[in-house]
Amino acid sequence: MKTVRTVADLRHELAGRTDIGLVPTMGFLHDGHLSLIRRAREDCETVVVSLFVNPKQFGKGEDLDAYPRDEERDARLAEECGADILFAPGLDEVYPDGFSTSVEVGGLTDVLCGSARPGHFAGVTTVVTKLFNMVRPDVAYFGQKDAQQAAVVRRMVADLAVPVEIRVCPTVRDEDGLALSSRNAYLSREERAQALQLPRALQARDRSVLNGIEVDYFEEADFEPRVLAAAVRVGGTRLIDNVVLEGEDR
């Protein structure tokens, strides 16, 4: 696996390659990310993993500076899962001086995480569009864990006729049921125990399971598939999760 940091080097590495799968990440890779990389490895001839902690998708006062980073470990794990290229651009490569464009999806982004985190999804769709134009993948992989993000990216790709296929992969969980997230690294032992209320409440379809933690939302949403999605705050950490309701009675 090669690590590249510029579009010029990326183009050089990708020259003559076909059937490119892209797995966009913010790093601090866990089994959720790795499941996407493995899936891309099964499906595609060329696998690119991008690693970029995107400041535009963090709000003021959110955890941009604290966001966990370990590129060396990420590179090792991505390589073990069969990635060909780790694309880890610097801030200036993605947002050079004078950068003034935003890609924004309406409607879908007004609810759930969109209303709780103004500007978040515009940050996501802007960077995802840029990554798509940099890598020019045939297929891009996203996790069902971030159901609204997947729906917003699908909408953007359909609306703008972006020539990429979006594949969404199932949520990977720890043995105790907690969905894997880079942000789980923030949780103390006690907080982690509390955080387990989130998957339990979703599994039970019962908001009242959430006890003594701050609930941002606990709502159904038709993101194709329909999901029950929730966001909670445990200590200073915001966690999201969802279960697919497909086939259940409304």
21 vs 32, beta carbon nearer ligand AMP: 32
123 lies in the binding site for ligand AMP (CB under 6 A): no
CB of 154 to ligand AMP, least distance (A): 12
Q: Please list, in sequence order, all residues whose beta carbon lies within 8 angstroms of the beta carbon of residue 55, skipping any fewer than 6 positions away.
A: 64, 91, 95, 123
Q: In 3D, which of 131, 205, 139, 190 has the Cα closest to residue 166?
A: 139
Residues 6 or more apart in contact with residue 206 via CB below 8 angstroms:
none
Site for ligand AMP in 23-42 (CB under 6 A): 25-26, 32-33, 35-36
| Of 97 and 202, CB closest to ligand AMP | 202
Decide: is 140 part of the binding site for ligand AMP (CB under 6 A). no
Please tell me which residue in 12, 30, 33, 120 is annotated as part of the active site: 33
Tell me how far apart the alpha carbons of residues 250 and 33 are, in angstroms, rounded to a whole number.
Answer: 31
Q: Is 172 in the site for ligand AMP (CB under 6 A)?
A: yes
Does the annotation mark 120 as catalytic?
Answer: no
Report 177-196 residues binding ligand AMP (CB under 6 A). Answer: 179-182
The conformation of residue 179, written as its DSSP 8-state character, comes to: B
Instruction: Give min distance, CB of 120 to ligand AMP, in A.
Output: 11
In this structure, the number of other CB atoms found within 10 A of the CB of residue 194 comes to: 19
**Shortest gap between Cβ of 150 and ligand AMP (angstroms)?**
7
Q: Which is nearer to ligand AMP, 10 or 145 (CB)?
A: 145
Distances (CA, A) of 108 to 25, 112, 148, 191: 22, 9, 8, 31
CB-nearer residue toward ligand AMP: 8 or 42: 42
Q: What is the C-alpha to C-alpha distance for residues 41 and 48, in angstroms, rounded to an integer? A: 9
d(C-alpha 118, C-alpha 102), whole Å: 14
> Residues 33 to 92: which contact ligand AMP by CB under 6 A?
33, 35-36
Which residues belong to the active site?
Answer: 33
Residues that bind ligand AMP (CB under 6 A): 25-26, 32-33, 35-36, 142-143, 145-146, 169, 171-172, 179-182
